[in-house]
Amino acid sequence: MSTRLRIALVIVGTLAALGALTVVAVLAFDLHVLVQMLLDPQSIVEGVVDEYLSANPHVPELRADDPLLKSRKILITSNINEFTANEVAARLLYLSAVDPRRPIDLYLSTQGGWVDSAFTIIDAMDLIEAPVNTWAIGGCYSAGALILAAGTGRRYATADAVLMVHASLDEDTKRPYSYERLALERYERVWRDRAALPEDWFPLVGDEEYYLSPDEALQFHLIDEIVPVSSDKENPPPRHQAMKRTP
């Protein structure tokens, strides 16, 4: 075999080896990324949900003959997401425009959801003139409990309700100009201004979940009143018997 041929074979072999190593490195990197995404699937879920919501725009239906609208009631029984925020904010703005003095009742039975969507509802409550009474019925968790505590009127829970405060932010909140920093600041601001959570719960990071009975929610000032559930529907207890928050 000539020297020139041997050199050519060495070069070809080296290039093939480098190519193989490159492929292995790329596959290893992609596998590492895939493993990380599977360990923390929130980014995948967010992308899927955002794409779905973008592809399926939804216009709230506001009808004057809607029995709930006529009685100035809004019911949330789904997750807090862009659809929910759109629907609820539109109804809040509509009812306040119809009568800015009469209270609006917002009933919450939800597993929680997106914090940004929760703040769309909270901001709408703060912007309108009509007071918004919030009610925890069934299970009121995470973003739902945040909206409950941020009510601008009276805040109620039924005697059978279960509430949950979620320390859902677990990213680096000290990094300058990060979303996580701002998200934690506004999240904790609501809890500090409109409730009295134990100080050792702060900062609200680490994915901790704190489940509360109505009595505990009253103690921590998430609500102002517990409304008894009467077994005698013919003769319900007068409203003044409801348990109220002590100063």
In the residue annotation, 96 being an active-site residue is answered as no
In the residue annotation, 142 being an active-site residue is answered as yes
Cα-based angle 150, 153, 157 (whole degrees, multiple of 5): 70
113 - beta bridge partners? Answer: 80
Backbone phi, psi, residue 198, to 5°: -55, 140
How far is the C-alpha of 89 from the C-alpha of 102, rounded, in Å?
17
Report yes or no: 245 and 218 within 8 Å, Cβ to Cβ: yes
Letter for the amino acid at 114?
W
Closest to 105 in 3D by CA, of 61, 160, 148: 148
Given 109, 166, 178, 240, the catalytic residue: 166
Given 58, 142, 168, 213, the catalytic residue: 142
How far is the C-alpha of 198 from the C-alpha of 210, rounded, in Å?
11
Which residues are known catalytic residues?
142, 166
